[in-house]
Amino acid sequence: MTVEETNLKGCFVVTPKIIRDKRGYFFESFTKAQFEAKTGIMANFIQDNQSKSSAGVLRGLHFQTEEFSQAKLVRVIKGKVLDVCVDLRKESATFGKHFSIILDNIKHKQLYIPKGFAHGFLVLDDDTIFSYKCDNYYNKTSEKGIIYNDKTLNIDWGFPKENLILSEKDKVLPTFETYSNE
């Protein structure tokens, strides 16, 4: 596996070593010892989640607060997404900056998103299966979000707005400014 830190401190792209032959392929999707050695992060993932979505579905930007904050290791099992994370750590030099990457079932790259980040993804292929490990349990009362089309964040989703499919909850999330003034 190779690990490369993004422009956001503590946020890493993880690329597995894929062994391909006439039967198909094999790779280790997560090895705790290698991950910790290459990132310096002591991973303690305790929950795995998976979703299936159609092209145009946008989920996010979501995060949990305080003691329920979550670090995530995200990947695509089938299909393709534009994955986006936003640094919400107010003391960080990259507070309010975002990173985006295409994750798919061809290259099998993963994104490690540290605690203190918002996360969202736009599904680019029908029947996409998205999976992620979390280092904390989901807690509904600590769940928050930021609207996907926030003007301050200026995220280029590269997809026609009229074709996006959002949950009712995601359509009315507050702005980044609202969050940053809390």
What domains sit in the chain, N to C, each tagged with a CATH number?
Answer: 2-180 (2.60.120.10)
Q: What is the pLDDT of residue 99?
A: 98
Q: What is the pLDDT of residue 171?
A: 97
Q: What is the pTM of this model?
A: 0.95
The H-or-E segment that residue 37 falls in is helix 32-39
- What one-character-per-residue DSSP string does 55-102 give? TTBEEEEEEE-GGG---EEEEEEESEEEEEEEE--TTSTTTT-EEEEE
Tens digits of residue pLDDT in 80-139: 999 999 999 999 999 999 999 999 999 999 999 999 999 999 999 999 999 999 999 999
DSSP letter at 34 equals H
Q: How far apart are CA 63 and CA 85, in angstroms?
A: 10
Q: What is the pLDDT of residue 182?
A: 72
Tens digits of residue pLDDT in 25-71: 999 999 999 999 999 999 899 999 999 999 999 999 999 999 999 99
The helix/strand/coil state of 109 is coil
Q: What is the pLDDT of residue 180?
A: 80
> Which are the catalytic amino acids?
62, 132
Whether 24 has a pLDDT exceeding 80, the answer reads yes
